[in-house]
Structure 1
Amino acid sequence: MARGRLRIYLGAAPGVGKTYTMLHEGQRLRSLGTDVVVGLVEPHGRRPTAALAEGLETVPRRTVVHRGVSLTEMDLDAVLARRPQVALVDELAHTDVPGSRNAKRWQDVEELLDAGIDVVTTLNVQHLESLNDVVRQITGVTQHETLPDEVARRADQIELVDLLPETLRRRLVHGDVYPPDRIETALTHYFRVGNLTALRELALLWLADRVEEGLQRYRAEHGITAPWETRERILVGLTGGPEGETLIRRAARITARTPGSELLALHVVPGDGLVRSDPAALSHQRTLVESLGGGYHQTTGEDIPEALLQFAKAENITQIVLGASRRGRFSLLLRAGVGQRTIHRSGPIDVHIVTHEAAAGASVPRPPRPIRGTGPVRYWSAIAGAALLLPLLTLVLTALRGTLGLPGALVLYMLAVVLTALVGGRLPALLTALAAALLTDYYFTPPLHSLKVERAVDIVALVVFFAAAWLVGTAAGVAARRTHQAMRATSEARALSRMAAAMMRGEALPTLLEQVRENFSLAAVSLLERDPEHGPEPRWYVVASAGARPPERPYDADVEARVDDRLTLAARGPGLSGDDRRILAACATQLGIAHTRGGLVRGAAGAEPEEPGRPRAGALYLRPVDLDEALTAALDDLGPGGHSILLRLPEQLPDVIADAALLARVLATLVADALRNSPPDAPPALTAEVEPDRVTVRISRPTADDMADAPAGREGEGSALRLSRDLVEAMGGTVEHTADGAPSVTITLPTSAPRPGP
């Protein structure tokens, strides 16, 4: 049985009109033929609200006697027995009277939803559990009836019933909210303008967060990486250096000046494995960020600006705050700092460079580090080799000074520099070249055993030698970096190709997970599935696992790669670099495909089918698609011609399993074909019918034409119809062409969850 849909009318305070709006929606649905009943409504003596309930069928309340007092409550069993399409239930967060089956009204609503009944309800923002303390600080009133935020977040639709504070106070004065004896107290206490303004802002911000969740899902589903400035997100980059607190406070002030913005901090751990930050300083900075209401994150990256920008694009960051470089001017001439490189690559993201005390002094001394791509072992091996090779070579050249002379010494020293560059990269080569130049000057240029140079030709020879060593070292460093990138790309392609090959062979999920575990040297891997029907605390099930003691929940894992809202890949083991995390995320997507495809195969074989939520196979991206959105996109693609289509659609259309882009294209193609073959004064009609497990969309024309003369079936069909048939069948649906009478094309698609039609 399909679960019902939940709609919540959210208000900032009592009296804004939530119950009135709920009843108005009930009357509207009733006028459209929907079976609507009133499960429970609390008009609170407000005559307009009570009048709006007239004409709606009301399920009688049940009476409960508690301590000699008769109390009434919604008769849950009677509503379930009546089994309407839609039930109106007021005040979702309230407590049921003692002796009821459930302690809270939202638990009654959960039973109605489980029975397939749609519920329209109301809620005040002060009853949300996460805002309870904030509301008490604002109003001085403790709300004892609270609702877990997760219950509200699971609602299919939340609408804000908004009213200006001044308007609400005028309603109070006119007696539209409370009786006369309570008006004065309400105006001077709970309903002060400041209180109402703060509560209204809380409601707007809470709802904005839920809208943001939907936006992030949409961006992920459609592969959108460019930031959308729907709200300001400020990211501060932390190195663990002394400037960290200054940057955090500066970013916090930028956040505070932009209501609704969000503060995040990111520390990038270099991919070479060398620790160059103070863990204690980072821990203190993390505490500061969290105390200012921000979130702290950490990632690994070989290129720090690239890692910063990858995180920024993934989190829809709009502004980045970085500190001015602590490096000296000469170092900045040789290579631009992190700030400048980030600015050059940031695109539409604003980058703030903040000065600080540490930037004005000398750069912090740090030990030399290997160039990326050579690795610390080869780096230090090159330096150690040069330290041994140069003295030995000097002894040999000193003995042969009269035979080889200065040119021979420079050539052999250059060979030592080249060997060092090939092993360790640019910096060891430069150090070797400098040492070789000094040794040549001391032992082979007159005056001997002195660093003075008397002849101009010797000065030129030493300068040319050092410049050649610089070029050789740079070329070796670039070659090492390119080799590392090629190896990384090869490793990524090999991992994904092995995963794809295993999926093509039909390997079981545990085998695929074992392959992932071995590829990334992880201790254990689990594919976890979230129970969508569970309460506020999510419950996770292990779909398949590999390794010892696999994680059973996402927060038990060291590494997590989310597949979708339902599936996630959790792993225990050493931390992964940014590139490895990206490959792991791609593998997780492939595992999600394998899991969904296995569910579809089992469903086709007669097993209990799973709800499809990811791609099924090939290039199709099958998932639950909002049919309303697909129809709207199709008609928009037709331009002004799409406005003349006659639409006969039910009030609510369920989601269908399809590829969203292909479905919109098919609908637009068929409607355009019907428009071309219809008279201008008799446009085609588009109707939809909802059945328990499928939706039928019919595009019909009032008159016969060339297409109607063609026989039904594949022979004689136009190319548009044949192509559309192939695409719909690939998505698991059917297309039928009727040429008798009024020509029509009927598309049938499976629904993501069977629902009775309204």
Structure 2
Amino acid sequence: MARGQLRVYLGAAPGVGKTYKMLEEGRRRHDRGTDVVIGFVETYGRRVVETLLRNGLEVVPRKEMAYRGATFTEMDLDAVLARSPQVALIDELAHTNVPGSGNAKRWQDIEQLLEAGITVVTTLNIQHLDSLNDVIQEITGVVQRETVPDEVVRRAEQIELVDMTPEALRRRMVHGNIYQPDKIDAALGNYFRVGNLTALRELALLWLANKVDDQLDRYRAGHHIDQTWETCERVVVALTGGSEGDTVVRRAGRIAARTKGAELRAVHVARSDGLAGADPAHLARQRVLVESLGGTYHQVVGSDVPAALLEFARGVNATQLVLGTSRRGRLAQIFSPGVGVTTAAESGHIDVHLVSHEEAKRGRQPVRITAGLTRGRQLAGLALAVVGLPLLTLLLDRVRADLSMAGEILSYLLAVLAVGLVGGILPSLFAAALGALLVDWYFIPPLHQLAIARLGDRLGLFIFLLAAVAVSTVVQLAARRTGEAAHARAQAETLTTVAGSVLRGERPLPALLEQVGETFSLASVTLLELTPDAPHGPEQRHDPAAWRIAAYVGGPPAATPSEGDTDVPIIGGLSLVLRGRPLDAADRRVVEAFAAQAALALRQERLAEQAGAATVLSEVDRMRSALLGAVSRDLRTPLSAVKDAVASLRSHEVAADDEDRAVLLTTADVSIDRLGRMVENLLDMSRLQAGALAMRLQLVSVDETLPRAVQALGEAGRSVGLEVPDDVPELYADPALLERVLVNLIANAVRFSPAGRPPTVSVSEHGGQVEVRVIDHGPGILIADREKVFLPFQQWDGGEHETGAGLGLALSRGFTQAMGGDLTPETTAGGGLTMTLSLPAADLDAVGKPPPDIDVQRADPAILDRIDSWTVRDEGSGP
């Protein structure tokens, strides 16, 4: 069965007429004989929609669903599938179905209808698209809870924009055609402001334009249309990898900026052999520049640069192509017109701009190759020619009678080839000239004269010289290519190492600078940044007040660019200064690539710092909100109890006997104690987070502290079982804090232990740690939620719900970690939860000595609430 088609009426805001257009379309199709039904339409009391709804189209009855004591109506998907019409009209594509429906979203219902071969006509407002949700919230201040994935809408065969000016929509609102009269004023002053409607309208137009552009690209590709259709200005700028690229990019950016909505794309054509001399540092810097202008960067591979440029430009439907003027001199242009001229001649409908720059006609800077034919090989080839050719002449002179002229010339040619393979073109040319003289002097009549009588001998000698030169040139070219390949491979390996260090490093900028220092054996690498009030002019390079150090590695940093052996200026007022040794031109090109990446890394660090600061503020705000919520929940009950008890005691209208007064006084006393504990917990939590927690560390015996903690629980602690061996060692701790931790843990276990199965506390020593296990057999906690119980201002009722301030377990872990231990939850065998308190056992040999240093940095980051470090004030000095 063929899939049904989807048609979407897209609107910028409610009330533009989407539902009306959908019903009109259904009416037209019905009049043409199409089987059309209304699957779901929401009228919102709009008279024009209700009138059109009564136009004779069949309506599939809705189904009623109960949820949380209320009854709702939803589209009956099964009924529409069973009816199986040709076309179904379904309003509100982004609607969320009532829980319990077959699908969570209406667009999922529509997908089922499309799979069943039913064509669907639906409606959608622009604010319900996933990709625009955050933008809509910033514009209108309204969070859209119901959204639909963009891809669902993009797959629609037809999308029609239902457009209306903001003024017309507001008039429709005033006339009562959208909302009920009691909602009109509020809507006009909030969501339906002119600015909001204008922005929403522009978003709808731009989103639909992108959709239409995608359709156009598919159409042109499907019909093999290569020529440009000027539906939108698209400016493509070609980058060679030279320093002139900055000028060309800025010029292309100005061209694109002249037309609203124009696109800017930069492209670099890399040679298919990978040996071209594009400067990676220039390309990296120009990529940043293109992106800062709102463009995109692309790289393609091709051996024919003009053809590759035009293929890319036609592929993106470009209207203008910007190139820099040729850097080749006039003599070179005689033999080849160059990329710019060739591209302009073959561009067709694409306009080509040739931008002049400071590098024009200066020629390309030669690239020094550090590999290939070394001086030693050239000397070896020259020696082979000087020694080998005379020896060959002596040998051929002895067998002169058995050889023809062709054999003699071929023998010398073989020798010249050998010299060329060893030493390259210069020794080979010398060998060819020397060989020609030897052949003429010894073997071509008249002998022992530099003269050639016969034409055939002259032709043979010329061919000999031509072959020698050709082979020597090929050998030299191969050697140069080998050198270029080795150089390119070394650069690629270096840059790959840089990329790997950035990806693996936690701090990309220091990793980059360290890699520069290691790669080029430098003493120090400094990244300098211009200060905002830095003076302009040549003296800027020597003024320490004009620069500040952004980052450095190695020895003493440079204070100004002039203090380094090499400095590489970077776009954005940065400079990479190197100390240790001056770099040659080839190394500098790689360093420039490092410098461009360093600028990006610095920008990423700055953004990360800003994001971190925003996260801290968000955490503080979250903590403040949680604290206020906790206070409002937990303080209200005891305060109300105290107030009611005191009011009853002071009342003259209610006669209370002694027993009633005792109950009221007990209630007030218990509530005040509860308030006191809560305030004490809040104060301790603030001290813990601020690093101002006072502790008195001394030797503590668990078998003495544990009974006091159980006794502090009163009647609730009588059923708690204790298992304390006699040989448990003492430990260093604050007795008061340790007792509070134990009270909190045991009270928590008593609270959740079922009747008849009281909690048990066992003590043991293992690996130098005293472990106190508080075991209960209650409902336990999900593994995924165990760490959440230690977060401040959360409390768990033993199930899935959080209640109350929940400072007990948070403080318990904080106190334990402050004393050098830890508190971890485990699953009790047979069900329930076991809290294991671990503290270092005291060294009996160290009794009488000061307590050991406590590593307070072990404290849980959640407990410290993102505080980087804190210290414990030790007011004691041992037992």
Q: Please give the TM-score of this superposition, normalised by the length of structure 2.
A: 0.44
Secondary structure class of the residue paired with 2:449: helix
Report the CA distance between 1:12 and its aligned residue. 1.7
Is 2:425 aligned against 1:386? yes
Structure 2 CA distance for partners of 1:265 and 1:18, relative to 1, 3 Å: same
Aligned to 2:609: none
> Counterpart of 1:115 in structure 2: which amino acid?
A
Of residues 162-171 and 401-410 in structure 1, the stretch that sits farther from structure 2 once superposed is 401-410
**Of 440, 450, 456, which aligns to 1:404?**
450
Q: Kindly provide the CA deviation profile for residues 596-617 of structure 1, in whole angstroms up to 9, marking residues without a partner as x.
A: xxxxxxxxxxxxxxxxxxxxxx
Aligned to 2:349: 348
Q: Distance in 1 between matches of 2:104 and 2:123?
A: 18
Q: Do 2:270 and 2:300's aligned partners in 1 also have CA atoms closer than 8 Å?
A: yes
Report the CA distance between 1:427 and its aligned residue. 11
Structure 2 CA distance for partners of 1:272 and 1:181, relative to 1, 3 Å: same
Secondary structure class of the residue paired with 1:404: coil
Aligned to 2:208: 207
Q: Do 1:8 and 1:122's aligned partners in 2 also have CA atoms closer than 8 Å?
A: yes
Is 2:311 aligned against 1:310? yes
Secondary structure class of the residue paired with 1:130: helix
> Counterpart of 1:271 in structure 2: which amino acid?
S
Q: Do 1:389 and 1:416's aligned partners in 2 also have CA atoms closer than 8 Å?
A: no
Q: Kindly provide the CA deviation profile for residues 418-451 of structure 1, in whole angstroms up to 9, marking residues without a partner as x.
A: 653477589979x9xxxxxxxxxxxxxxxxxxxx
Aligned to 1:186: 187
Is 2:420 aligned against 1:420? no
> Counterpart of 2:426 in structure 1: which amino acid?
A
Q: Do 1:243 and 1:323's aligned partners in 2 also have CA atoms closer than 8 Å?
A: yes
Q: Do 2:306 and 2:339's aligned partners in 1 also have CA atoms closer than 8 Å?
A: yes
**RMSD of aligned C-alpha atoms?**
3.6
Structure 2 CA distance for partners of 1:381 and 1:340, relative to 1, 3 Å: farther
Report the CA distance between 1:193 and its aligned residue. 3.2
Secondary structure class of the residue paired with 2:450: helix
Report the CA distance between 1:395 and its aligned residue. 4.1
Report the CA distance between 1:154 and its aligned residue. 1.2
Is 2:62 aligned against 1:56? no
- Larger relative CO (CA 8 A, sep 6+): 1 or 2? 1
- Which runs of structure 2 are paired with 1:440-451 in the superposition (5 Å)? none
Q: Kindly provide the CA deviation profile for residues 705-748 of structure 1, in whole angstroms up to 9, marking residues without a partner as x.
A: xxxxxxxxxxxxxxxxxxxxxxxxxxxxxxxxxxxxxxxxxxxx
Secondary structure class of the residue paired with 2:10: strand
Aligned to 2:102: 101
Q: Kindly provide the CA deviation profile for residues 567-623 of structure 1, in whole angstroms up to 9, marking residues without a partner as x.
A: xxxxxxxxxxxxxxxxxxxxxxxxxxxxxxxxxxxxxxxxxxxxxxxxxxxxxxxxx
Structure 2 CA distance for partners of 1:112 and 1:396, relative to 1, 3 Å: closer
Secondary structure class of the residue paired with 1:259: coil
Is 2:123 aligned against 1:122? yes
Aligned to 1:155: 156
Aligned to 2:260: 259
Structure 2 CA distance for partners of 1:30 and 1:425, relative to 1, 3 Å: same
> Counterpart of 1:45 in structure 2: which amino acid?
G
Structure 2 CA distance for partners of 1:359 and 1:256, relative to 1, 3 Å: same
Structure 2 CA distance for partners of 1:284 and 1:64, relative to 1, 3 Å: farther
Is 2:324 aligned against 1:323? yes
Q: Kindly provide the CA deviation profile for residues 610-642 of structure 1, in whole angstroms up to 9, marking residues without a partner as x.
A: xxxxxxxxxxxxxxxxxxxxxxxxxxxxxxxxx
Q: Distance in 2 between matches of 1:169 and 1:360?
A: 62
- Which runs of structure 2 are paired with 1:19-38 in the superposition (5 Å)? 19-38=19-38
Report the CA distance between 1:342 and its aligned residue. 0.9
Aligned to 1:15: 15
Structure 2 CA distance for partners of 1:307 and 1:127, relative to 1, 3 Å: same
Aligned to 1:580: none
Report the CA distance between 1:357 and its aligned residue. 4.1
Structure 2 CA distance for partners of 1:405 and 1:411, relative to 1, 3 Å: farther
Q: Distance in 2 between matches of 1:395 and 1:309?
A: 50
Q: Distance in 1 between matches of 2:134 and 2:360?
A: 42
Structure 2 CA distance for partners of 1:53 and 1:277, relative to 1, 3 Å: same
Q: Do 1:385 and 1:420's aligned partners in 2 also have CA atoms closer than 8 Å?
A: no
Is 2:44 aligned against 1:44? yes
Report the CA distance between 1:71 and its aligned residue. 2.2
Structure 2 CA distance for partners of 1:140 and 1:410, relative to 1, 3 Å: farther
Report the CA distance between 1:182 and its aligned residue. 3.3
Structure 2 CA distance for partners of 1:428 and 1:27, relative to 1, 3 Å: closer
Aligned to 2:276: 275
Q: Kindly provide the CA deviation profile for residues 472-499 of structure 1, in whole angstroms up to 9, marking residues without a partner as x.
A: xxxxxxxxxxxxxxxxxxxxxxxxxxxx
- Report which of the two structures shows the higher radius of gyration computed on alpha carbons: 2
Q: Do 2:265 and 2:298's aligned partners in 1 also have CA atoms closer than 8 Å?
A: yes
Structure 2 CA distance for partners of 1:128 and 1:396, relative to 1, 3 Å: same
Aligned to 1:530: none
> Counterpart of 1:404 in structure 2: which amino acid?
L
Q: Do 1:85 and 1:117's aligned partners in 2 also have CA atoms closer than 8 Å?
A: yes
Structure 2 CA distance for partners of 1:79 and 1:316, relative to 1, 3 Å: same
Is 2:84 aligned against 1:83? yes
> Counterpart of 2:216 in structure 1: which amino acid?
L
> Counterpart of 1:86 in structure 2: which amino acid?
V
Using the aligned pairs only, state the percent identity: 59
Report the CA distance between 1:122 and its aligned residue. 0.4
Q: Do 2:88 and 2:119's aligned partners in 1 also have CA atoms closer than 8 Å?
A: yes
Q: Distance in 2 between matches of 1:411 and 1:203?
A: 80
Report the CA distance between 1:104 and its aligned residue. 0.9
Secondary structure class of the residue paired with 2:14: coil
Q: Distance in 2 between matches of 1:148 and 1:107?
A: 11
Structure 2 CA distance for partners of 1:44 and 1:254, relative to 1, 3 Å: farther
Report the CA distance between 1:241 and its aligned residue. 2.2
Structure 2 CA distance for partners of 1:341 and 1:140, relative to 1, 3 Å: farther
Report the CA distance between 1:149 and its aligned residue. 1.3
Structure 2 CA distance for partners of 1:49 and 1:250, relative to 1, 3 Å: farther
- Paired residues, number: 420
Q: Distance in 2 between matches of 1:253 and 1:197?
A: 27
Q: Do 2:154 and 2:211's aligned partners in 1 also have CA atoms closer than 8 Å?
A: yes
- Which runs of structure 2 are paired with 1:131-170 in the superposition (5 Å)? 131-170=132-171
Structure 2 CA distance for partners of 1:392 and 1:215, relative to 1, 3 Å: same
Q: Distance in 1 between matches of 2:195 and 2:217?
A: 33
Aligned to 1:197: 198
Report the CA distance between 1:88 and its aligned residue. 1.0
Aligned to 2:226: 225
Q: Distance in 1 between matches of 2:325 and 2:109?
A: 58
- Which runs of structure 2 are paired with 1:553-632 in the superposition (5 Å)? none
Q: Distance in 2 between matches of 1:167 and 1:124?
A: 17
Q: Distance in 2 between matches of 1:178 and 1:381?
A: 92
Report the CA distance between 1:268 and its aligned residue. 0.9
Q: Do 1:5 and 1:118's aligned partners in 2 also have CA atoms closer than 8 Å?
A: yes
> Counterpart of 1:319 in structure 2: which amino acid?
Q
Report the CA distance between 1:284 and its aligned residue. 4.3
Structure 2 CA distance for partners of 1:288 and 1:2, relative to 1, 3 Å: same
Structure 2 CA distance for partners of 1:381 and 1:388, relative to 1, 3 Å: closer
Report the CA distance between 1:414 and its aligned residue. 8.6
Q: Do 2:425 and 2:476's aligned partners in 1 also have CA atoms closer than 8 Å?
A: no
Report the CA distance between 1:385 and its aligned residue. 3.9
- Which runs of structure 2 are paired with 1:590-739 in the superposition (5 Å)? none
Q: Distance in 2 between matches of 1:249 and 1:68?
A: 65
Q: Distance in 2 between matches of 1:392 and 1:218?
A: 64
Structure 2 CA distance for partners of 1:248 and 1:95, relative to 1, 3 Å: farther
Q: Distance in 2 between matches of 1:327 and 1:181?
A: 76
Q: Distance in 2 between matches of 1:193 and 1:248?
A: 38
Q: Distance in 2 between matches of 1:173 and 1:125?
A: 22
Report the CA distance between 1:119 and its aligned residue. 0.8
Q: Kindly provide the CA deviation profile for residues 19-72 of structure 1, in whole angstroms up to 9, marking residues without a partner as x.
A: 110011112222223222211112222111111111322222222222223222
- Which runs of structure 2 are paired with 1:736-755 in the superposition (5 Å)? none
Q: Distance in 2 between matches of 1:70 and 1:217?
A: 47
